[in-house]
């Protein structure tokens, strides 16, 4: 790999300051999610210089106000700041919600002497509840007053966006581009309502189903031209956040924002052929950052006990490979069998059979392996039970992390989906929360 | 209603004899499903006269051997008998499975002096395990020796097809067609892997996703021409079994078979216009039988605590209405909220938003009512929270059965889906069964 891992903090790249504060949104909720974890619930991230910006947003038709506001701002060439909150998704809040989202960015702009349009916003938490703007205003003022480039302040951001997450999710890497040290860092949150399907425009790219709230904010001090940055983020998200599913529910608030402020002084990365080798190196590091954060989201999925990488190969085309992998990854019966450590390949074949992918039972191979291993412990070969002793299959599935290899043997297309089991703890966590007149989720 | 309900038994119509026996397939399995309920595991149903036949079969590409064998036999004009077993689905069993399914029908034909092709077969239970043919042969001989038209024998059939079902599912009705008393009866089984999408040919009718093992066998002494019977069954299944979902998993074995032997001596029902009024009357009664059996399957779904009828209206077209209803009915987050009695409309709006249906958030209405009631307890009006007190919403969702009304207000199309909550008991039941080298399911 052409990059090294640094101590994680979103402020690791040069020229970024951040702060996360307690403003009391979470305290308003009596939801299970809102009582877990740290109490910080508002964060601010600022680039000292105008940064090239890119954003990917939920394709849910019921998109939250902060998503609607941030989409056009992420289409701009540059931005300066991102304000984030947990505890309230500002989703299904109508015109008032749009005013509140805009007000949040205006408050930040006023405090930091920026233009309103250079500030993006993301929210996560309860759906359908008005934003508690007096608290949020106090929070923004406090965050703006405490901005710093310290790792501590970076960690505050990772904490402030948590909802049902049990731990913060952060990463930072460093690479060298034409002798200049360049850093990329990120924070993310997830836990439930996780099957993102994001696009640059928030518009679904195809008639194909795409299906959390997950938020991620990435920073870099690389010098990257805006169009190249948008293209790089789209590739990174396509292979990471858009490849995960906890429960198959796509959120109203999914957002990934990347700011790159150029302070590393590398030669500016563009889409020109001459820039390709350096852009590729940047892309590899960005892909790594996005994939590691995406996997952290699945590993911290609500109530999970197993992390499973579903690898489909031999499909006729990518659409089929993706459909097959998602049918298996989202099957209630497959997910519950993993919870019990049961190598129930019958349910896997069943899910493949009802997927939208072309499947020929007699050609299907199903095998397990340790994560990333080239070993294959076959459960099914050519549609028929393999001769593997049952206790070996059980041992493969008993591991907290394993790969499931599905060979359709009908073509050359592949797809990977990162997922988890379905447990009683998931049901218990999500089975409602009477006495809380709200709707945790976005 | 132009029909009356009779004491339930599949032998209620004239000219049908049946038997259900213990042949020891279930005893072979140590699966949770196979140890529950009665020990009967093989049943035989025979019409004294050749009966018009119709069948609807799973559109899962991984279809079980009995499905593959029965599809062409149900396309014939007439059939005489159905042999059924539980404990083994004879799915993913390759060429040997096809031989075993055929052998089952041959054994029945030999015992009853019928042609092999006039015998249909359905199986449910473990996937990927060879059929224990010596036991099955003994079972078929025993059943053939005990055939009777008694209600007791009818109940034996309902018991013999149970897997994870906690109770048998039976119904019988009587109507009058041109002064002749005509009866329709049926048995069904369900519990898990329930989101049938059946067609007459076992081929998926459209690019639209269709998703148990559910089995149902229906009998009637009506005189119905074969083509009219196939058309009637297709209509009845489209509005019943194909409208239910427990867990969104479509089985490899879903089958509905209808035999109508004409012994009621009504004027033969055909597709001719002159026959339409009587055929319509028959259809209404058949629709009722199918829908009641379908609802019994959902009410006895694995681990359920709530039965919910999702009624979508105002969609642009039926495909949209169906997609919207299924997205809500299959959402893990919506289903777990029902489990807790939480009227979490945010999750419902979220699921509508990621469905393949066209949805405009600002137009969406969401309301609850008691089953079939014209009362509306609004949770959402025009995409915004309604003014209904939260405790009233909680009371609506606390009931063991309620209707969920979703108005998209974009058109005139409607769809209904019958579903249930997702509970810890479902996860516990399905989380595998280590020590059982098999795959319960089909």
ipTM for the predicted complex: 0.84
Greatest alpha-carbon span in chain B? 69
| Number of Cβ pairs < 8 A linking chain A and chain B | 246
pLDDT of residue B212: 45
- Specify the residue for token string 């976005």: A442
pLDDT of residue B83: 98
* B95 CB burial (10 A radius; 0-12, 13-18, 19+): exposed
Q: Do A422 and B427 touch (CB under 8 A)?
A: yes
CA-to-CA separations, B438 to A337, B192, B218, B348, B369, in angstroms, rounded: 12, 16, 30, 36, 43
Give the contacts of A63 (CB within 8 A, at least 6 positions apart).
Answer: A57, A91, A202, A252, A253, B353
Q: Considering only residues 389 to 418 of chain B, which have any Cβ-Cβ distance to chain A shorter than 8 Å?
A: 390, 394
Residue A328 CA to residue A316 CA, distance in Å, equals 17
Question: Using CB atoms, which residue from A91, A193, A380 is nearest to B333?
Answer: A193
Q: Look at residue A437 and tell me whether its pLDDT is greater than 60.
A: no
Q: Which SS3 state, helix, strand or coil, does residue A182 take?
A: strand
Residue B270 CA to residue B247 CA, distance in Å, equals 37
Q: Look at residue A440 and tell me whether its pLDDT is greater than 60.
A: no
- pLDDT (mean) for A47-70: 95
Q: Which SS3 state, helix, strand or coil, does residue B264 take?
A: coil
| A280 part of contact set with chain B, CB < 8 Å | no
Residue A60: list chain B partners with CB under 8 A: 350, 353-354
| B152 part of contact set with chain A, CB < 8 Å | no
Give the contacts of B346 (CB within 8 A, at least 6 positions apart).
Answer: A89, A91, A92, A126, A127, A128, A438, A439, A440, A441, A442
Pairing type for strands B401-407 and B307-315 reads parallel
| A339 part of contact set with chain B, CB < 8 Å | yes
A107 min Cα distance to partner chain B (Å) = 26
A213, A245, A270, A419: the active-site residue: A213
Look up residue B351 and give its two tokens: 């699921």
Question: Using CB atoms, which residue from B247, B362, B434 is nearest to A394?
Answer: B434
Residue B234 CA to residue B242 CA, distance in Å, equals 10
- Specify the residue for token string 């093992």: B213
Question: Using CB atoms, which residue from B341, B353, B430 is nearest to A333?
Answer: B430
A387 min Cα distance to partner chain B (Å) = 12
pLDDT of residue B431: 82
Write down the mean pLDDT value for chain A. Answer: 91
Tens-digit pLDDT string for chain B (442 aa): 689 999 999 999 999 999 999 999 987 654 444 445 568 999 999 999 999 999 999 989 999 999 999 999 999 999 999 999 999 999 999 999 999 999 999 999 999 999 999 999 999 998 889 999 999 999 999 999 999 999 999 999 999 999 888 899 999 999 999 999 999 999 999 887 777 777 777 776 543 333 348 899 999 999 999 999 999 999 999 999 999 998 888 889 999 999 999 999 999 999 999 999 999 999 999 999 999 999 999 999 888 999 999 999 999 999 999 999 999 999 999 999 999 888 889 999 999 999 999 999 999 999 999 999 999 999 999 999 999 999 999 999 999 999 999 999 999 999 999 999 999 888 888 886 554 434 445 5
B209 min Cα distance to partner chain A (Å) = 7
Q: What are the boundaries of each domain within chain B?
A: 3-299, 307-422
Question: Using CB atoms, which residue from A59, A353, A437 is nearest to B60?
Answer: A353
Give catalytic status of residue B124 as yes or no.
no
Tens of pLDDT, residues A202-241: 675 543 333 348 899 999 999 999 999 999 999 999 999 9
Q: Which of A398, A324, A335, A331 is nearest to A366 (CA)?
A: A324
CA-to-CA separations, B23 to A254, A279, B39, B136, B439, in angstroms, rounded: 54, 68, 9, 6, 20
pLDDT of residue A206: 43
pLDDT of residue A123: 95
| A126 part of contact set with chain B, CB < 8 Å | yes
| B369 part of contact set with chain A, CB < 8 Å | no
Residue A116 CA to residue A109 CA, distance in Å, equals 5
Q: Which CATH superfamily is domain A307-422 in?
A: ArgJ beta chain, C-terminal domain (3.10.20.340)
pLDDT of residue B370: 96
DSSP type of residue A52: E
Q: Considering only residues 295 to 334 of chain B, which have any Cβ-Cβ distance to chain A shorter than 8 Å?
A: 331-333
Residue A253: list chain B partners with CB under 8 A: none
Q: Best residue in B198, B332, B433 to probe A by mutation, most A CBs within 10 Å?
A: B332
Q: Considering only residues 347 to 366 of chain B, which have any Cβ-Cβ distance to chain A shorter than 8 Å?
A: 347, 349-354, 356, 358-362
pLDDT of residue A433: 54
Residue B135 CA to residue A326 CA, distance in Å, equals 39
pLDDT of residue A218: 98
Q: Which SS3 state, helix, strand or coil, does residue B175 take?
A: strand
Look up residue A205 and give its two tokens: 């790219």
Q: Do A427 and B336 touch (CB under 8 A)?
A: yes
Positive or negative torsion for Cα A68, A74, A79, A81: positive
- What pTM did the predictor assign? 0.88
pLDDT of residue B209: 33
Tens of pLDDT, residues A239-269: 999 999 888 888 899 999 999 999 999 999 9
Residue B331: list chain A partners with CB under 8 A: 248-249
Question: Using CB atoms, which residue from B210, B252, B361 is nearest to A350?
Answer: B252
Domain A3-299 has CATH 3.40.50.620: no
Question: Using CB atoms, which residue from B338, B358, B424 is nearest to A428?
Answer: B424
Cβ–Cβ < 8 Å for A257, A214: no
Cβ–Cβ < 8 Å for A75, A104: no
User: Taking phi first (over 0 means left), then psi (-120 to 50 degrees means alpha), and beta for anything else, what does residue A120 get?
Assistant: beta
pLDDT of residue B29: 53
Q: Best residue in A202, A333, A365 to probe B by mutation, most B CBs within 10 Å?
A: A333
pLDDT of residue A197: 72
Percentages helix, strand, coil for chain A, rounded to the nearest 5?
35, 25, 35
Please report, in angstroms and rounded to a whole number, the separation of the first and last CA atoms in chain A.
36
């Amino acid at each position: 790999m052409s990059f090294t891992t640094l101590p994680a903090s979103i402020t690791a790249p040069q020229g970024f300051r951040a702060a996360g504060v307690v403003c009391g949104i979470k305290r308003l909720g009596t939801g299970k999610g809102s009582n877990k974890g740290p109490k910080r619930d508002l964060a601010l991230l600022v680039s000292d210089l105008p940064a090239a910006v890119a954003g990917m947003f939920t394709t849910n038709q019921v998109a939250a106000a902060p998503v609607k506001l941030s989409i056009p701002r992420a289409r701009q060439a540059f931005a300066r700041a991102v304000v984030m909150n947990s505890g309230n998704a500002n989703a299904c809040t109508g015109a008032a919600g749009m005013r509140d989202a805009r007000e949040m960015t205006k408050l930040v702009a006023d405090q930091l002497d920026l233009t309103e349009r250079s500030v993006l916003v993301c929210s996560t938490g309860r759906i359908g509840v008005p934003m508690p703007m007096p608290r949020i205003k106090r929070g923004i003022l406090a965050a703006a007053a405490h901005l710093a480039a310290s790792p501590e302040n970076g960690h505050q951001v990772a904490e402030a966006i948590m909802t049902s997450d049990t731990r913060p999710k952060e990463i930072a890497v460093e690479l060298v581009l034409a002798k200049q040290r360049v850093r990329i860092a990120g924070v993310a949150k997830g836990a439930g309502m996780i099957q993102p399907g994001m696009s640059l425009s928030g518009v679904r790219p195809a008639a194909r189903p795409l299906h959390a709230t997950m938020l991620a904010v990435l920073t870099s001090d690389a010098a990257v031209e805006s169009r190249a940055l948008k293209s790089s983020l789209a590739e990174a998200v396509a292979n990471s956040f858009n490849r995960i599913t906890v429960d198959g529910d796509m959120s109203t608030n999914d957002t990934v924002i990347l700011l790159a402020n150029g302070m590393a002084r590398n030669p500016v990365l563009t889409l020109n052929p001459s820039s390709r080798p350096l852009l590729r190196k940047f892309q590899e590091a960005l892909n790594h950052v996005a994939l590691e954060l995406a996997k952290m989201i699945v590993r911290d999925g609500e109530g999970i006990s197993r992390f499973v990488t579903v690898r489909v190969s031999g499909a006729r085309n990518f659409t089929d490979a993706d459909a097959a992998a998602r049918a298996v990854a989202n099957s209630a019966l497959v997910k519950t069998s993993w919870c019990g450590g049961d190598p129930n390949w019958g349910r896997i074949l069943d899910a493949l059979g009802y997927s939208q992918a072309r499947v020929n039972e007699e050609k299907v191979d199903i095998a397990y392996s340790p994560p990333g291993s080239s070993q294959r412990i076959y459960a099914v070969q050519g549609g028929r039970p393999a001769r593997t002793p049952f206790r070996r299959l059980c041992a493969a599935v008993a591991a907290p992390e394993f790969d499931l290899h599905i060979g359709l043997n009908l073509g050359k297309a592949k797809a990977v989906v990162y997922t988890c089991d379905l447990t009683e703890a998931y049901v218990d966590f999500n089975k409602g929360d009477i006495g809380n007149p709200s709707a945790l989720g976005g």
